[in-house]
């Protein structure tokens, strides 16, 4: 077996046991397509008509406002009130 084929097979095996972030750290983000071939898209595509429910744990403070990192909407009033 050639070295390239063995390398590809190693990456395919790693894709079954590593998270996407671990895979990118080990093999480089340019090879994430191999992980996605095994596991599906790293981030699922947005479904049409679906709204962000603001159930995200991560919020960003922008000026004095809180902004949902999923959709970018100002959620200051929702969290304060």
8-48 pLDDT, tens per residue?
999 999 999 999 889 999 999 899 899 888 888 776 555 44
Residue 79 pLDDT: 58
- What is the signed CA dihedral for 37, 39, 42, 44, rounded to 10 degrees? 100
E strand intervals along the chain? 59-62, 65-68
Give just the sign of the alpha carbon dihedral 45, 70, 17, 15.
Answer: positive
Residue 49 pLDDT: 46
Residue 16 pLDDT: 92
Residue 63 pLDDT: 62
* Stated pTM of the model: 0.52
Give just the sign of the alpha carbon dihedral 61, 67, 68, 72.
Answer: negative
């Amino acid at each position: 077996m050639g070295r390239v084929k063995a390398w590809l097979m190693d990456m395919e095996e790693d894709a079954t046991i590593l998270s996407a972030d671990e895979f990118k750290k080990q093999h480089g983000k340019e090879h994430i397509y191999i992980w996605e071939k095994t596991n599906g898209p790293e981030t699922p595509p947005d479904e049409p008509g679906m709204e962000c429910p603001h159930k995200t744990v991560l919020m960003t403070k922008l000026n004095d406002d809180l902004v949902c990192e999923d959709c970018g909407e100002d959620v200051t009033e929702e969290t304060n009130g």
